[in-house]
Amino acid sequence: MLKKYRYDGSKKFRSKKESTKETSLCSDKETAKKKMAENNEEMDLLQQKLYAEKKEGLIVLFQAMDAAGKDGTITHVLQCLSPHGVYEAAFKVPSATELAHDYLWRIHDQVPAKGEIAIFNRSHYEDVLIGKVKELYKTQAHSDRIDLDKVIEYRYEDIRNFEEYLYRNNIRTVKIFLNVSKKEQAKRFLSRIEEPEKNWKFSASDVEEREYWDAYQEAFEDAINNTATKHSPWYVVPADHKWYMRYVVSEIILDTLKDMDPQYPVVTEERMEKFNALKERLEKEIQ
Ligand code: ATP
Ligand code: MG
């Protein structure tokens, strides 16, 4: 069902060819809500098992143009999971300390432990998105031996290797691109200006970034095509309809958790014997 949105290296993502507003997996909002409620219950149970088993961790990473609905979607995902072992890591403009280190340093610091789920609000992909579009690496401190023409290409390789390294060490990475249209983004910026309770979200620089729209689309295309792998796939989700986007995201996370197939740890016979002895003791106490 999710195959059409999934990129695992077996097909190319072409930004211009993908619709941002189709709703082919569920045509109406009410049904989507109902299905999401069912998905949430399943997700909740699987997460509890993941946390109990502590064998594998999960990163669900979100990237998008501004106003695509990243924050709302993340809030929604977090609401339907238990707070134990689930957290959000938001990656903003790097601090001086972060910039003094390699670009994956701050990312590795937020990698979940086995049993945990980390929701990444932006990520290391910023370094091949805004980093590529604005050529930030050219003005950041670097050694003379660095070939600036190869920085982005090398980062794709670093990222593939980093995610595969995590996979081999029991941490999966699932990457979600919320694909909004330029027109829909304009509408959402307008509502941030017109509706007082949304004013705080509006920033003039977001509108200025629209000048670079095509360059960002190209950067997304290149980033996705260079880092989509079987173990760490990308999903490109149509984002013009928020209700549909959230529904598809719930299907992606559920599908991933099902594939991870966590199980409650089985108690050994020896431990069970101990449990039974303790049970007798407790029962005596309440007699
Ligand atoms: P968001 O836009 O994610 O909702 P925000 O508006 O609350 O967050 P911003 O200050 O806009 O906060 O933080 C995100 C900004 O940080 C984005 O413009 C993003 O491109 C930038 N950013 C994140 N990581 C990097 C990076 N590695 N290098 C440069 N800029 C980065
Ligand atoms: Mg912002």
Interatomic CA distance for residues 250 and 37, integer angstroms: 9
Digit-coded pLDDT (tens) for 48-94 = 999 999 999 999 999 999 999 999 999 998 988 989 999 999 999 99
Interatomic CA distance for residues 35 and 25, integer angstroms: 11
Interatomic CA distance for residues 99 and 91, integer angstroms: 13
Place of tokens 């509502």: 191
Atom number of ligand 1 nearest to Cα 209:
18
Least confident span in 79-88, 169-178, 220-229: 79-88
Name residues contacting ligand 1 (CB within 6 A).
66, 71, 91-94, 121-122, 126-127, 130-131, 136
Q: How confident is the model at residue 223 (pLDDT cuts 50, 70, 90)?
A: very high
Interatomic CA distance for residues 68 and 185, integer angstroms: 7
Question: Would you say the C-alpha torsion 132, 20, 59, 157 has a positive or negative sign?
Answer: negative
Token reading at 84:
């134990």
Interatomic CA distance for residues 64 and 151, integer angstroms: 22
Predicted confidence at residue 80, as pLDDT, reads 87
Expressed in angstroms and rounded, the spacing between residue 209 Cα and the centre of ligand 2 is 10
Digit-coded pLDDT (tens) for 242-275 = 999 999 999 999 999 999 999 999 999 999 999 9
Mutate to test the pocket of ligand 1, among 63, 75, 130, 192 (most ligand atoms within 8 A of CB): 130
Atom number of ligand 1 nearest to Cα 66:
2
Expressed in angstroms and rounded, the spacing between residue 19 Cα and the centre of ligand 1 is 25
Average of per-residue pLDDT across 150-175: 98
CATH number of 3-285: 3.40.50.300
Expressed in angstroms and rounded, the spacing between residue 123 Cα and the centre of ligand 1 is 9
Q: How confident is the model at residue 287 (pLDDT cuts 50, 70, 90)?
A: confident
Digit-coded pLDDT (tens) for 1-58 = 899 999 999 999 999 999 999 999 998 999 999 999 999 999 999 999 999 999 999 9
Expressed in angstroms and rounded, the spacing between residue 90 Cα and the centre of ligand 1 is 9
Closest alpha carbon to 252 in 60, 53, 24: 60
Digit-coded pLDDT (tens) for 49-58 = 999 999 999 9
Expressed in angstroms and rounded, the spacing between residue 206 Cα and the centre of ligand 2 is 7
Expressed in angstroms and rounded, the spacing between residue 236 Cα and the centre of ligand 1 is 20
Expressed in angstroms and rounded, the spacing between residue 20 Cα and the centre of ligand 1 is 22
Mutate to test the pocket of ligand 1, among 126, 207, 216 (most ligand atoms within 8 A of CB): 126
Taking 90 as the threshold, does the pLDDT of residue 200 lie above it?
Answer: yes
Average of per-residue pLDDT across 188-194: 95
Interatomic CA distance for residues 159 and 165, integer angstroms: 10
CB 242 within 8 A of CB 69: yes
Interatomic CA distance for residues 1 and 196, integer angstroms: 39
Mutate to test the pocket of ligand 1, among 74, 92, 104 (most ligand atoms within 8 A of CB): 92
